[in-house]
Structure 1
Amino acid sequence: MKTILTPTDFSPNAVNAITYAAQLASEVRGKLILVHALPFPTGITPVEAGVINPQVALKQAYVQELEKLSKTLRLENGFRFEVETYCEEGPLYQCMGKLAVQHQVDMIVMGTKGATGFLQKLAGTNALTIMQQVHCPVLVVPATARYNGMQKVAYASDFEKEESIFLQQLFPLLSPFKPEVDVLNVQADEQLNIVADGQIIQEIAAQHTNLTVQIKQVKAASVLAGIKQYTKETPVQLLAVAIEQRNWLEALFHHSVSAQLAFGSNLPLLALPQTPYRAVASKTAARTEAAIA
């Protein structure tokens, strides 16, 4: 992981997420990209000669704020990573999607309100829209979360889908931090056959020799209860889940780990897309080459 993209509206939640992202960037000596999105102006009236356009003045003010923030972050972190700033116009998710591809971003880090059950409040928020629309891993940081290293990470899986695309995103992101990774399955009913899944997981993990990957099963009455039980008994710094291609409201009623976890997490949550932009670009390039050939 080298490039982190973080949006800011200069609120306390955004500042907390930036602090979290800065500490990640510091550890990997990477790059932090800060972006503020200005909505398109509505009801524009002609500007008189000699009068500064208010939209232009507003953008200049935010550019200056971003530059001040950039200098502060670099000073506070001993210039251990680069910082770039952008003030864009348009919906935030569009700005984030464009910058993610342009700068080959590895992960988006953003804040949201709340602590326990904070993802209950995601509906209609920028965080949810970006999870749905931007094909990049998104780390959502609750307002109360603080960066305490990355010694142990849990990836919650229902073992009912193809895991490769998600793990091939997760393991490279975690590799610089060398954490222990628990691939967690909650056994709510009868025993599941996880042999085939385990072989796939270990084959992918073998490409990242600095990671210790284990498959864990927890017996519980429900997925949510199992996740709570696991996180109560096991100190983890991050929970990762797969975001499958389905309507979010549908997902909330789907009995998958991802859906249940969305109502129970009080830790930073890493959402992994089913179609990451790099995979989409790779397939497009392959089709283009085949067509030319």
Structure 2
Amino acid sequence: MKTILVPIDHTPAAEHTLAYANKLAVRWPAEVVLLYCHQPDAAAGEPAAVLLAQEQRLRGLVERLRYQQLTRQNGRRIQYRYRVLAGCLHDHVQAEAAACAADLVVMGLAHIDCGQQEAPGNHAAAITALVGCPVLVVPAGRRTLPNRLVFSADFDALNLHLLPRLSGLANAFPGPLDLVQFYPRTARPRRRQLKQALGRAAAQLTWPTITEHLVEDEAPLEGVSEYCARTLAQLLIIAPANTAQLLRYFDLCYTQTQAYHTQIPVLVLQATEQPAADTCCEHCHERLAQEATAARLAAYRAAHWV
């Protein structure tokens, strides 16, 4: 059975995230694992009792939402697991995603962690860097499941090993899929090469209806937002090459101006890290991977909170 990991808090926006995950779990179908991380408070009482109270509160929210926005029959079909832990989400999400073998993480665009609110998208980008599965970032607000999808990437440089994992989500997100490759004017001589790269990517995907598009645009991010608005896309799929590129999608200027791509769910494919060339054995590769994870966590904790 498929598994959806949903990091959640008790903010109003989190209800919309859970409601979206519920609909997705019914359609796919999938089990939902709810992960709530609670910052301990010495004045609140015994930690075990506090965590138990938080779990009961979470169960009450789940029972209300599963029948409030779904039919009773569909609500009963969803299987839930609860993980209520002390500490911050970024300290636990990697291990929890691995433990439940998550196929997808569904989280809100603005998620409170450690009792502090980070700039929109920064938190989502940090969590995406910590888990190995695709991450679906859902902005606040009620919305239906998508039936029109856009996948925008640099397909000429895209690692095709990411695409089988994306194809595993085809039943969760059925509908026409547009593959969109943006390129600058200076890349006109490479149009044939880019078209071939689009074809190779399409051949790896299992959606029944796939359309390939080459679009000349000097500003790909603005271009994809306009493209999604023009085609009324309800889900944007991206495969950023690095965290900085991912953060650009959720830049404050786009969220404040309510750019179209910040108003629809964004599915992020995390690029698979390749083994370093100078690793002499699997043990060394594992050690370097752990060091890289620790470095990402350190960078996350050093981020400016607003």
Give me the TM-score of the superposition, normalised by structure 1: 0.76
Root mean square deviation, CA, Å: 2.9
State the distance in 2 between where 1:29 and 1:202 align.
25
Deviation (angstroms), 1:120:
6.6
Residues 1:212 and 1:204: Cα distance change in structure 2 (over 3 Å): same
Secondary structure at the counterpart of residue 32 of structure 1: strand
State the 1:40 CA deviation.
Answer: 5.7
Q: Tell whether 2:264 aligns with 1:272.
A: no
User: Equivalents in 1 of 2:247, 2:45: separation in Å?
Assistant: 46
- What is aligned with 1:139? 136
Question: In structure 2, how many angstroms separate the alpha carbons of the residues matched to 1:12 and 1:103?
Answer: 26
1:11 positional shift: 0.4
1:37-76 matches, cutoff 5 A: 37-39=37-39, 53-76=45-68
Residue 53 of structure 1 deviates from its aligned partner by: 4.2
- Residue 58 of structure 2 aligns to which amino acid in structure 1? L
- Aligned with 1:239 (options 233, 236, 239): 236
2-side partners of 1:4 and 1:165: how far apart?
A: 21
Residue 260 (structure 1) shift: 5.0
TM-aligned CA deviation for residue 176 of structure 1: 3.9
Alignment match, 2:120? 121
Task: Name structure 2 gaps, 5 residues minimum.
Answer: 112-117, 255-260, 276-281, 284-306
Worse-matched range after superposition: 184-193 or 130-139: 184-193
Superposition misfits of 4+ residues, deviation over 6 angstroms: none
Give, in angstroms, the shift of residue 147 of structure 1: 3.0
Which AA in structure 2 matches 1:20?
Answer: Y
Distance of 1:39 and 1:69 partners within structure 2: 19
CA separation of 1:161/1:93 partners in 2, compared to 1, >3 Å: closer, same or farther?
same
1:114-173 CA-partner distances (Å, limit 9, x unpaired): 9xxxx97223x3x222111122211111113x3323211111112341341332222211
The separation in 1 between residues aligned to 2:107 and 2:23, in whole angstroms, is 13
1:224 to 1:274, Cα distance in 2 relative to 1, 3 A:
closer
**Alignment partner, residue 167 of structure 1:** 163
SS at match of 1:93: helix
- Secondary structure of the structure 2 residue equivalent to 1:174: coil
- SS at 1:67's partner residue? helix
Change (3 A) 1:195 1:179: same
Q: Deviations over 1:8-38 (max 9, x none)?
A: 1110111111111111111123211111112
State the partner residue of 2:294: none
| Closer, same or farther: CA 211–262 of 1 in aligned 2, 3 Å | farther
What is the correspondence of 1:208-227 to structure 2 with a 5 Å cutoff? 208=206, 210-227=207-224
CA–CA separation in structure 1 for the residues paired with 2:183 and 2:272: 27
Distance 1:260 1:186, change over 3 A: farther
Aligned-partner Cα distance in 1 for 2:48–2:110: 30
1:106 equivalent in alignment to 2:103: yes
DSSP-derived class of the 1:194 partner: helix
Alpha-carbon distance between aligned partners in 1 of 2:230 and 2:63, rounded to the nearest angstrom: 41
Gaps of 5+ in 1: 46-51, 253-257, 281-286, 289-293
Question: Which residue in the other structure is 1:33 paired with?
Answer: 33
Q: Check conservation: 2:14, 2:108, Cα contact below 8 A.
A: yes
CA shift in 2, pair 1:162/1:85, >3 Å: same
Deviation at 1:214, TM superposition (A): 1.7
Q: Distance in 2 between matches of 1:112 and 1:260?
A: 14
Bigger mean CA offset, 131-140 vs 171-180? 171-180
| Code of the aligned partner of 1:59 | L
Rounded Cα–Cα distance in structure 1 between residues aligned with 2:131 and 2:40:
20
Separation (CA, whole Å) in 1 of partners of 2:81 and 2:247: 34
- Matched position secondary structure for 2:197: helix
Checking the alignment, whether the CA contact within 8 Å between 1:242 and 1:273 is kept in structure 2 is yes
Conserved 8 A contact 1:74-1:83: no
